[in-house]
Amino acid sequence: MTRAATTSARSKPTAFLEGQRSAIEAERAACARQISALDAELASLSERDGVPQVDFTEEGGEGGTMAIERDRDKALRDTLLARLLQLDEARSRLDAGTYGICESCGGPIVEARLEALPDATECMACKGGGLLRRAGGR
């Protein structure tokens, strides 16, 4: 039994973290770009029908399509904005040296998971349970 138990989070190669940083920066830039595009689209949509408020009762009407389109854009924008903030946080964790540590259990998040999802905050085990919890409500 000579297996050394010294694979701590601190011994992770810097190259990996630097790679993650570029991935985060790239995704962040892509998100910001999409948000500006949606902002422009939303602005032109509200200019077109002149009604700033989305009316949910108008489902069958002609204005309904535009409202749905705008609604979808807003939802997408919210999603992108949330992602942008998550990427910001991931970058802060990189700076603070806490990157790759599960927020729920404090254990390490495997590199493969971080490569697939650079802003992951939870390990697979915690995410599995958290996903169900999160779907329930705000």
Q: Which region among 11-19, 25-33, 78-86, 119-127 touches Zn ion (by CB under 5 A)?
A: 119-127
CB of 134: closest distance to Zn ion in angstroms? 14
- Residue 102 interacts with Zn ion (CB under 5 A)? yes
Q: Is 101 one of the binding residues for Zn ion (CB under 5 A)?
A: no
Torsion over CA: 112, 87, 85, 92 (sign)? positive
Q: Which residues have CB under 8 Å from 34's CB, separation 6+?
A: 76, 80
Give the residue with the Cβ less far from Zn ion, 24 or 109. Answer: 109
Interface pick for Zn ion out of 105, 115, 128, 129 (rule CB under 5 A)? 105
119 Cβ contact partners less than 8 Å away, ≥ 6 residues apart: 24, 27, 83, 86, 87, 89, 90
State the nearest-atom distance from the C-beta of 122 to Zn ion, in Å.
5
**Tokens 């085990």 sit on residue:** 125
CB of 112 to Zn ion, least distance (A): 15
CB 83: neighbour CB atoms within 10 A?
A: 17
Helix axes 62-96, 14-49, angle to 10 degrees: 160
Contact between 120 and Zn ion per CB under 5 A: no
Q: Is 123 in the site for Zn ion (CB under 5 A)?
A: yes
Residues that bind Zn ion (CB under 5 A): 102, 104-105, 123, 126
